[in-house]
Amino acid sequence: MPGLAAISIEGPKAVGKTATALTRAATVYALDDVRQRQIIEASPDRLTRGQPPILVDEWQKWTPSWDMIRRAVDENPAPGRFLLTGSAAPSGADTHSGAGRIVPIRMRPLSLAERGFSASVSLAELLTGSRPSISGATSVTLDDYVAEILGGGFPGMRGRTDRQIRAALDGYLERVIDRDFPEQGVTLRRPDTLRAWMRAYAAATSTTASFETIRDAATPGVGNKPSASTTLPWRDLLTRLWILDPVRAWVPSHNKLRELSSSDKHHLADPVLAARLLQMTPRKLLGGDEPEPAVPRDDTFLGALFESLIALNLRVYAQAAEAEVRHLRTQRGGHEVDFVVIGPDGGMVAVEVKLSATVADDDVKHLAWLRNRVGSQLLDAVVVTTGTEAYRRDDGVAVVPAALLGP
C-alpha cells in the first residue's frame, strides 16, 4: 500500500478480504449494503471522497465503481488511496481492465503456516538456488492432515465444531448456486444439474480429466446430457467467482521438453469444498472410500485431497515470493511432476506430493527425469510427505513433511 494508489483484493467469499481491508481503511463504502449503494448511485462522486485509504467493498455490486476509481487514480496517483474487494472477477467490456492503476492481489484460504503450523523449510529460500540444508521435525500425523482438509482454511470457520463447519459449507455452496449465479446474470433452469456437475468436478480433484469426462460422471445413465455450451459457462463463472482454482500446465517455450500436455489440473479454492460436495468424512477418507460420482484417477481420493491441500499452500507461499505454480505432464502421461514453482528469474522448484511417510527411489524418478531435461534451471526438487522428519536424500532431493513447508 505505501507505494500503490489502488489495490484490488480478489478471491472467493469468506477468505477474509473485507476483514483484512477494514484493518487498513479509513473510509468505507460497502456496496453490498443496498442503502449505501443507492446513495452512491445518486451521488457517484462520493465514492472517491473521504479520508484515504478508501475501501470500496464488493465493488462488483455496482460495476461503475471500478472505472470511477481508475479515473481518480489517473487524476491523482498518490499512493495508499484505494482498496477494493470483490468476490467475482470483472467480465465483459463494460469495465476497463484497470491495468497500471488498480493492482490485483489474490487472497486464498489459509495455508498450513497461516493456521499455526511451524515451518522449518522456506519455499522462498529453495527458489534462491542455494540448496539450503533441510531439517526439522513435526508430530503432525495423517489424521491431523485429514482434520485440516475437512476443517478448511476459511478463517470464519476455524475453531468451529465439525457439525458447524459442515453446515457452514453447505450454506456456502448453496449460496453459490442460488444467489451468486443469478447475481452474475445466469439463470439456472435445472440447479440440480449444476450441483451434480460441481460434485463431478470435485471428484476430479488433482486430475486433468477432460470436461467431457466430468460431464459424463455428473450424468451417468442420462441420454440427453447437457451440452458444452451449457457446462462451459458454468466452469467460466465458477472460475470468475474463484470457486474453481485450476493449476495451469507448464509449457515452456524451449525445446528441452516436448509433447507436454496443456490441460489444467483441477482444484477448487479449498479442498474442503471438494470434500463437502462429496460428503467425505474422516472414516471414508482414511478407509480409502472413493467418491460418487467416480472419475478415473491413479491414486486414492485422500491422496488427491492431500495434493490439493499442498496446491493451496504452494500458491500462497509462491505468491509471497513473486513466483507462480504450474504442473507438468507429458501428453501420454509417461512423466508427471505434481507442481513446478517458477521463480521471478525463471528458475524453478519441482514438487512431488506423496501420501506417505517414506520416500523411495521410485518416488523421485520424475524429478530426476526433469533435472536431466532442464539442468540448472531446476533450482531444487522436493517431495512433500506426511512423515515427521525433513531431510535431504543422497541424490539431493529434499523430503519435507507438509507441516514443515512454509513461505
At 324, is the pLDDT very low, low, confident or very high (cuts 50, 70, 90)? very high
pLDDT at 286 over 90: yes
Rounded CA-CA distance 390/60 in Å is 45
User: Which pLDDT value is given to residue 298?
Assistant: 86
Domain 6-106 is of which CATH architecture? Answer: 3-Layer(aba) Sandwich (3.40)
Q: Which residues pair with 336 in a beta bridge?
A: 329
* Least-confidence region, from 310-319, 332-341, 377-386: 332-341
Residue range 302-330: mean pLDDT, rounded: 97
pLDDT value at residue 382:
98
Residue extent(s) of CATH 3.40.50.300 domains in the chain:
6-106
Model pLDDT, residue 93? 42
Which grid cell sits at 194? 449444476
pLDDT tens digits along 119-128? 999 999 999 9
334 alpha carbon, distance to own chain's centre: 26
In terms of pLDDT, which residue wins out, 221 or 50? 50
The per-residue pLDDT for 388 is 98
pLDDT at 91: 59
Here the cell at position 401 is: 513433511
Residues in CB range of 238: below 8 A, 6 or more apart: 176, 198, 244
**In this structure, what is the dihedral angle of CA atoms 195, 201, 203, 294, given to the nearest 10 degrees?**
80
Handedness of CA 365, 368, 373, 378 (dihedral sign): positive
Quick one: pLDDT at residue 236? 94
Buried b (16+ CB within 10 A) or exposed e, 312-351: bbbbbbbbebebbbbbbbbeeeebbbbbbbbbeeebbbbb
Residues 225-282 pLDDT 10s: 888 888 889 999 999 999 999 999 998 876 667 788 889 999 999 999 999 999 999 9
Using CB atoms within 10 A of its CB, is residue 273 exposed (0-12), middle (13-18) or buried (19+)? buried
* Range with lowest mean pLDDT among 70-79, 181-190, 272-281: 181-190
- The reported pTM is 0.94
Q: What is the rounded average pLDDT of the residues 107-128? A: 98
pLDDT > 70: percent of the chain: 97
Can you say how many angstroms the Cα of residue 135 is from the centroid of all Cα atoms in its chain?
A: 28
Asked whether residue 376 carries a pLDDT value surpassing 50, the answer given is yes
Cβ neighbour number for residue 219 with a 10 Å cutoff: 18
In this prediction, residue 152 carries a pLDDT of 98
